[in-house]
Structure 1
Amino acid sequence: MSRRPFILGAAAVIAAGTIASTAVGGYAVGGDPSTYGTIGIAVEGPLTGSQASNGQDMLRGVQLAVKQYNAKGGFNGRNVQIVQVDDQGNASMAESAAAKAIKAKVVAVIGPYNSSVGLVNLPIYTKAKIVPVQMTSTDDTTGYGVTVQPKNSQISPVESSYMLDVIKPAKVSMIVTDSAYTTGMAARLREALEPKGVLVSQVTVKENLTQADYTAAVQQALTNNPTAVYLSTYFPEGARLASALKATGNPAKCFAGLANQDPGFVTAAGIPASQNCVFSGVPDPSQFPTAKGYVKAYTKAFPGKTPGTWGTFTYDSANILFASWKKADPFKYA
């Protein structure tokens, strides 16, 4: 995949908030978690559904970090136990996902990943005194826990600079799915391009449609003969759009936003369509010289699985959480 470049370097940004864990209230039932034999942390993300390849990589990243932490003695001899919380990347499942974690009396949650989900349930977690080490990118979730995930305000300047300085478009057609993250990123790109004289048009599509629907969206986006097509989507939809764009033979350049960064994109779109796009994203772990140890440990722990991008974020998130326990009591929320 040598023609699959990436333009956004890795970011590790700690958002406003403190990273201490907690005894929980809210939906919790009976007992004091500080007396339990293990310490529970939740991993919330799209563990099933169209974004499952992403969610499962996130889960494996935490599983590896927990395995290594427990092997070193855990927290004062107590092992960490993972509670899996599946939200399918769907905002309608956000409240029930948080309720599961709260009922399990976890002290922290790694996730959620999808911004539309986090907008709903991150306030629920913090109200319940569960610390989120969250993976959302919308700036509207800043302050709800901490994150190592780059935010829209950090991603967008890099994308717009690439668009203006490298692609140098006269016209840009954006194809945008109707989620909090993707609509926010599209709005930021428009705000950056239009003052520079770039004509910007937008086609909005829903998630989980048929290939015919996405093909029609591409055809609509190409009606004004754009220099570039910007895919502000998550990877399941982006892959279908990229495939449809490649099939047209249109010379417009394909620029795929950060949420398209997933091996599932290539699997669904195919190599030719994937190579036709430039991706805004963080390189795979194998492309980072400093990640050799992680890649080796991951492939040993999960035979047959290739480490993806987002598992590195959750692996780091878990280790940051564990490091905080050296200074902060896991059962006292501050």
Structure 2
Amino acid sequence: MTRRRPQPGSPPPKACWPSTSSACPIYRSGGVSIVRLTSAGTTQGFGVTTQPMDVQVAPVEATEITQVLHATRVAMVYDTSTYTAGIAGRLRDLLTTAGHPPVAFQPITEGQGDFSGVISAVAASHPDLVYIAAYGADAGQIARLASQSNVGGGCLVDLAAQGPDFVGAATVPVAQRCLNSGVPPAQQFAGASQYVTNYTSAFHATPGTWGTFTYDSMKLLAQAVTEARGWSEAAVQSRLDHIVNYQGITGAITIEPKTGNRANSPVVILDVNASGNYLINRVWAQTAGFPLPTVTSP
């Protein structure tokens, strides 16, 4: 791509991160094109995203709970942060509509530390499944405490927790007993093999959970700017809004113009293996028709 200077009066595009999602309206009112790296429904309509949104994740979780696990007494624990509270609310509504409202709906705050009261309330509800929508170490600690307290039932963890912090706090044996909603690890995206090779060679580390989506986001932005021949907000945003079947390393990407969301976003069900790595649940993949790479994942 030939690099061009921003046109006068046309600020370059910005990325709205989960921690700065409140800035999205400011960027839009300032005439800035937006590529958002968010999953909260409150950011719909503010630019485009390659990531799954909570409105796309919740139905996958509800299907797993009701049609695969056949759980009818779900105890829900959720962080009150924007995304996790949003996904918990959407899932609660779906379960209620299915005829099985949650038997517990316990809020926590990020970094709370002491979850003993929450665990006691969950245990008292006699669940057949504990659902956790929280981040990293908090989610891991809750899963571990629930296991140590013999709360009972299975464990399903929302994609907010996906990563080594969850596994480390839960411990590998506990993490292995949980199913997870999430996105495929880079190694399990059929089109990301060269990205993984290049990343590992450059940084001597395994790519993180969201690196593939960030990579595709930047490629989409570069393509839109190139086609628009500059940084004009209207021209760039129009091209971003009308992306159809772009072949990214996270799969084919089509943007829904009204919301900026990615159609058919790759939300999957994951296991954790004995090495603490996330792997797509093969039974789920076969049922959903999700393509898996032929190479063995770590």
Shorter-chain TM band:
0.7 to 0.9
* Aligned-partner SS, 1:147: coil
- 8 A Cα contact 1:160 1:189, kept in partner: yes
- 8 A Cα contact 1:263 1:308, kept in partner: no
- 8 A Cα contact 1:107 1:330, kept in partner: no
- 8 A Cα contact 1:246 1:276, kept in partner: no
- 8 A Cα contact 2:24 2:43, kept in partner: yes
- 8 A Cα contact 2:39 2:53, kept in partner: yes
* Aligned-partner SS, 1:309: coil
Partner of 1:203: 106
Partner of 2:159: 258
Structure-2 separation of matches of 1:310 and 1:263: 13
Q: Offset of 1:314 from its aligned partner?
A: 0.5
Partner of 2:12: 107
Structure-2 separation of matches of 1:236 and 1:329: 44
Q: Offset of 1:173 from its aligned partner?
A: 0.7
1:285-304 aligned within 5 A? 285-303=186-204
AA of the residue aligned to 2:84: T
Q: Deviations over 1:20-78 (max 9, x none)?
A: xxxxxxxxxxxxxxxxxxxxxxxxxxxxxxxxxxxxxxxxxxxxxxxxxxxxx6525x8
Q: Percent identity?
A: 34
Structure-2 separation of matches of 1:248 and 1:288: 37
* Aligned-partner SS, 2:115: helix
Does 1:233 pair with 2:134? yes
* Aligned-partner SS, 2:233: coil
Alpha carbons of structure 1 residues 145 and 195: separation in structure 2 relative to 1, 3 Å? closer
Structure-2 separation of matches of 1:228 and 1:322: 44
Q: Which structure is richer in relative contact order (CA contacts within 8 A, separation 6 or more)?
A: 1
Query: Which stretches in structure 2 are left out of the alignment for 5+ residues?
Result: 235-298
1:171-182 aligned within 5 A? 171-182=73-84
Partner of 2:210: 310
Alpha carbons of structure 1 residues 121 and 254: separation in structure 2 relative to 1, 3 Å? same
Partner of 2:23: 121
- 8 A Cα contact 2:131 2:156, kept in partner: yes
- 8 A Cα contact 1:176 1:186, kept in partner: yes
Partner residue of 1:331 out of 204, 216, 231: 231
Partner of 2:3: 75
Q: Offset of 1:269 from its aligned partner?
A: 2.1
* Aligned-partner SS, 2:132: strand
AA of the residue aligned to 1:167: L
Q: Deviations over 1:162-181 (max 9, x none)?
A: 11011212211100111111
Q: Offset of 1:268 from its aligned partner?
A: 2.5
1:1-334 aligned within 5 A? 74-75=2-3, 107-114=12-19, 117-118=20-21, 120-200=22-102, 201-210=104-113, 213-303=114-204, 305-334=205-234
Q: Offset of 1:129 from its aligned partner?
A: 2.4
Q: Deviations over 1:283-325 (max 9, x none)?
A: 211122321101001111212x211221111111001100112
* Aligned-partner SS, 1:306: coil
Query: Which stretches in structure 1 are left out of the alignment for 5+ residues?
Result: 1-72, 81-104
Q: How many residues align?
A: 230
- Output the TM-score relative to the length of structure 2: 0.72
Q: Offset of 1:106 from its aligned partner?
A: 6.4
Structure-2 separation of matches of 1:158 and 1:107: 35
AA of the residue aligned to 1:129: G
